[in-house]
């Protein structure tokens, strides 16, 4: 039996799920970003030669590095929260606090990495 969607796109875009929804959608974007990157990366190293080198040049762009590190770090930290809460279901009561804690870890670590990436991009 197929499910039918009765929510229009405009309604979906106006959904205000606050913190938990933001982590959900960023987790999804991060996972998709990594899956696409790693898939292409494996194929590029398999092909090597000109095609592989052309694809590898993309990874050296600092914009791409900022994006992929955001994907990896957010997906890893948020995934750890999901794992802990799901394996110990009683902790669901503290979900909001866990999300704040997650940002408290993510923001400084990402800021340091972003600083290092941008500094080396500027030639420092």
DSSP string for 81-105? HHHHHHHSGGGGGGHHHHHHHHHHH
User: Are the beta carbons of 106 and 77 closer than 8 angstroms?
Assistant: yes
Q: Does 108 bind another protein (CB under 8 A)?
A: no
Interface residue with another protein among 89, 122, 123, 124 (CB under 8 A) is 89
Q: DSSP strand E in 1-124: where?
A: none
Q: Name the one range near another protein by CB under 8 A: 18-26, 42-50, 94-102, 103-111.
A: 42-50
Interface residue with another protein among 11, 13, 46, 122 (CB under 8 A) is 46
Number of residues that bind another protein (CB under 8 A): 27
Q: Does 6 bind another protein (CB under 8 A)?
A: no
Q: Does 34 bind another protein (CB under 8 A)?
A: yes
Rounded Cα distance between 47 and 49, Å, is 6
């Amino acid at each position: 039996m197929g499910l039918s969607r009765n929510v229009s796109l405009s309604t979906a875009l106006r959904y205000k799920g606050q913190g938990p929804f933001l982590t959900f959608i960023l987790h999804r974007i991060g996972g998709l970003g990594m899956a696409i990157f790693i898939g292409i990366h494996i194929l590029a190293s398999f092909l090597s030669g000109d095609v592989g080198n052309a694809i590898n040049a993309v990874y050296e762009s600092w914009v791409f590095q900022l994006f992929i590190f955001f994907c990896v770090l957010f997906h890893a930290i948020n995934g750890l929260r999901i794992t802990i809460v799901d394996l110990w279901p009683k902790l669901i009561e503290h979900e909001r606090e866990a999300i704040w804690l997650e940002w408290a870890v993510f923001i400084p670590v990402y800021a340091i990495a972003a600083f290092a990436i941008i500094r080396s991009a500027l030639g420092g």
